[in-house]
């Protein structure tokens, strides 16, 4: 019983209770299924708040630990080990918040096979939360791979016309990258006397590096094996080609959770595993990672502007925005890393809001082509205001959340000893300008100018109460982080300082 009542165990596996209940509800009772899924997601959100209430933001160490011996074969010790610190607590809260919002957004958008959709979505929440909490590499890998299955079905069953192609591409890309990570995990476990426990690995690895048992070349190969898996998930240029297809074909709720949480699993992997486990390789690779991040920032922004499909524009913008996150992480200083973690949250809020709003208007118009839009400001004023806030947030307008994250990242990148060149940050600032170009282009095409085909051919309705309620939490956090980010940086600071103190810079 003690195991089940652990806060982190509860927040991770509580959605399974909803899955169990939904499994026994008649598939024809769609509203009952929707309400069960929503109540489950909201209860999970409340449990995450309960866990956060017990979290000590001044403590840089792992907290609320749930650690039990799980698998013992010969000399191997694999633990069920969940814990949270300042590096992960905000991402757990983001996951539970966006999961509830996504389920609410699917209320009218998903009409077929509602039972299966809600089951897969709650299973996906289990996997995502587990990724951010697992402190044993074997357990982490299980959660990491588990998320592929429900997302594959969400895209493949409820997606657009090319859903099968997109789902397969998403699955195969991520699975291929994960194979190398699995080999690296096994190698690490063998070298560290048969343990996958991350805190124990961090204690033993310095001696293994110093003695030469793990050579500098081996450390770099381990770094690359983990990095490839995480870079595909981010996705970093040039490993990003699966993302636009997955976003365009996924249902709205799938796009929101894909952009808001699943992509952050990649950046979090670098933060939690690459940087602390392979410190010397991290420092050696930092300029190269900064180069790839800068290329991604500029490439993603330039390609976004060229899109004729609204959803594809926002999809490519994620390549650019997450390039900023990677630049901040490999600045390897407090400003850059803190800004990167906060920007993970910011991107989840702003891009999640954009995908929600695009989905809301798509339900009425059934088109995402810019050429079909125009003049929506007069027809849907509440929708227009919400979209304007999301656009300004995504482009980094001062006073909103995106500005805080990007400014802090650029500040860290300019003064980074690891990157050792201000040019990366200098070129990356062009990405901020280009973001304003493609996002204002999006807003102009949709809301200003003469009435488009969607107005002349459809009797458009403004946002209803459910859609407004769906957007309000995102808008609140967009303004809160933008106007008063101190509480969020206070949560991050001790854990970030501890992470960086172990690097030989």
For 322-336, b/e burial (b = at least 16 CB within 10 A) is: bbbbbbbbbbbbbbb
Q: How many CB atoms sit inside 10 A of residue 178's CB?
A: 21
151 and 216 in a common domain: yes
The vertex-12 CA angle with 48 and 9, nearest 5°, equals 90
Q: How far apart are CA 324 and CA 428, in angstroms?
A: 8
The token pair at 398 is 């001062």
Contact 230, 285 (CB under 8 A): no
Continuous H helices in 330-464:
334-365, 376-379, 381-395, 401-414, 423-447, 453-457
pLDDT at 4 (0 to 100): 66
Last residue of a domain, one of 255, 277, 299: 277
Binning the chain into helix, strand and coil, the percentages to the nearest 5 are 75, 5, 20
Q: Which helix (H) or strand (E) holds 46?
A: helix 30-53
Domain of residue 36 covers: 1-277
272 and 307 in a common domain: no
The vertex-440 CA angle with 457 and 458, nearest 5°, equals 10
437 and 457 in a common domain: yes
Q: Which helix (H) or strand (E) holds 63?
A: strand 63-73
323 and 184 in a common domain: no
SS3 assignment for 247-264: HHHCCHHHHHHHHHHHHH
pLDDT at 388 (0 to 100): 94
213 and 290 in a common domain: no
Last residue of a domain, one of 231, 251, 277: 277
Nearest of 254, 236, 242 to residue 352 by alpha carbon: 254
Domain count across the chain: 2
Q: Which residues of the chain have pLDDT under 50?
A: none
- At 458-471, the pLDDT tens digits run 788 888 889 999 99
225 and 93 in a common domain: yes
2 and 103 in a common domain: yes
292 and 269 in a common domain: no
Secondary structure (DSSP) of 81-133 = EEEE-TTTHHHHHHHHHHHHHHHHHTTTT--SSHHHHHHHHHHHHHHHHHHHH
- What is the reported pTM? 0.92
Last residue of a domain, one of 241, 257, 277: 277
285 and 245 in a common domain: no
74 and 47 in a common domain: yes
184 and 50 in a common domain: yes
What's the N-to-C CA distance of the chain in angstroms?
45
68 and 47 in a common domain: yes
Q: How far apart are CA 373 and CA 395, in angstroms?
A: 21
Contact 401, 393 (CB under 8 A): yes
Contact 418, 286 (CB under 8 A): yes
């Amino acid at each position: 019983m003690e195991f089940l009542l652990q806060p982190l165990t509860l927040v991770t596996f509580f959605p399974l209770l909803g899955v169990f209940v939904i499994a026994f509800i008649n598939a024809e009772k769609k509203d009952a299924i929707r309400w069960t899924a929503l109540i489950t997601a909201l209860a999970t959100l409340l449990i995450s708040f309960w866990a956060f209430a017990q979290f000590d933001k001044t403590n840089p160490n792992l907290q609320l630990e749930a650690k039990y011996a799980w698998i013992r074969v010969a000399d191997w010790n694999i633990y069920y080990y969940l814990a949270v610190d300042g590096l992960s607590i905000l991402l757990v809260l983001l996951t539970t918040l966006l999961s509830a919002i996504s389920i609410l957004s699917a209320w009218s958008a998903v009409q077929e096979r509602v039972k299966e959709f809600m089951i897969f979505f709650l299973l996906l929440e289990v996997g995502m939360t587990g990724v951010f909490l697992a402190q044993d590499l074997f357990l982490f890998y299980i959660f990491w791979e588990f998320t592929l299955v429900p997302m594959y079905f969400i895209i493949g069953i409820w997606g657009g016309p090319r859903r099968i192609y997109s789902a397969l591409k998403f699955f195969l890309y991520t699975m291929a990258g994960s194979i190398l990570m699995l080999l690296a995990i096994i190698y690490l476990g063998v070298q560290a006397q048969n343990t996958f426990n991350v805190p124990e690995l961090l204690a033993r690895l310095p001696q293994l590096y110093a003695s030469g048992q793990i050579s500098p070349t081996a450390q770099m190969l381990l770094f690359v094996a983990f990095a490839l898996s995480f870079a595909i998930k981010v996705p970093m240029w040039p490993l990003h080609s699966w993302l636009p297809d997955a976003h365009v074909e996924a249902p709205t709720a799938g796009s929101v959770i894909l952009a808001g949480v699943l992509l952050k699993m990649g950046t979090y992997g670098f933060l939690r595993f690459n940087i602390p486990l392979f410190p010397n390789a991290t420092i050696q690779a930092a300029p190269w990672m900064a180069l790839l991040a800068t290329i991604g920032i500029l490439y993603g922004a330039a390609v976004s502007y060229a899109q004729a499909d609204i959803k594809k524009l926002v999809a490519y913008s994620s390549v650019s925005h997450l390039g900023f996150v990677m630049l901040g992480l490999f600045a390897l200083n407090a400003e850059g890393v803190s800004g990167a973690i906060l920007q993970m949250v910011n991107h989840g809020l702003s891009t999640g809001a954009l995908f929600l709003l695009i989905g809301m208007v798509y339900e009425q118009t059934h088109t995402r082509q810019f050429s079909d839009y125009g003049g929506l400001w007069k027809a849907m004023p509440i929708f227009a205001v919400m979209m304007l806030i999301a656009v300004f947030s995504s482009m980094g307008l001062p006073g909103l959340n995106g500005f805080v994250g990007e400014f802090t990242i650029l500040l860290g990148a300019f003064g980074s000893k690891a990157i050792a060149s201000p040019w990366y940050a200098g070129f990356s600032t062009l990405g901020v300008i280009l973001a304003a170009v493609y996002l204002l282009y999006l807003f102009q095409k949709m809301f200003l100018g003469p009435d488009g085909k969607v107005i002349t051919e459809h009797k458009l309705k403004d946002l209803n109460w459910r859609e407004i309620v769906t957007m309000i939490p995102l808008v609140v956090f967009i303004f809160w982080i933008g106007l008063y980010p101190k509480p969020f940086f206070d949560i991050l600071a001790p854990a970030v300082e501890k992470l960086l103190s172990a690097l030989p810079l």
